[in-house]
Structure 1
């Protein structure tokens, strides 16, 4: 039962993330929103799957995949943001739309 609530919570995170991505005009704001929601939704999905599987080798594998995603997700978003910055894409200044 708890894992079903976690799945629903992850979908709520995803829906709010999509709304947040489309509400921002700046590439850096969109990257920030997508990385936060991506991590939050994946955490809840993987915790739901671990709870559903119980303590087994599958739950250990899911936990290892979760650790890998937690480490590589922010690094990938940083690389994308740095690439955008180095290619001259500026952040939106205040007053400009």
Structure 2
């Protein structure tokens, strides 16, 4: 996956921010923060995860479907992406 290697630092930074947000939710729960605030933090994490997912799906589509070297590679990239989308939408 050349695209994840190429963008590795940017992707790792996003994952670390999400990790920090999740740790913030844990701290809020331990501190018995009001549920409205915790729910806002959860919504923020969900948005961050959706953003990361969108970026990875976009990269996969460009690299393994649109930029595939052969029709067989394109077919494989498409099938892999469809499987991932099915899992994501469950």
Q: TM-score, normalised to structure 2's length?
A: 0.51
Partner in structure 2 of residue 28 of structure 1: 43
Q: Structure 1: give runs of 5+ residues left out of the alignment.
A: 77-97
Q: TM-score, normalised to structure 1's length?
A: 0.49
1:61, CA displacement in angstroms?
Answer: 2.2
Residues 46 and 13 of structure 1: is their aligned pair in 2 closer, same or farther, counting only changes over 3 Å?
farther
Structure having greater relative contact order (Cα 8 Å, sep ≥ 6):
1
Higher helix share: 2
Partner in structure 1 of residue 58 of structure 2: 43
Give the whole-Å Cα distance in 2 for the aligned partners of 1:20 and 1:45: 22
How large is the Cα RMSD of the aligned pairs? 2.8
Partner in structure 1 of residue 36 of structure 2: none
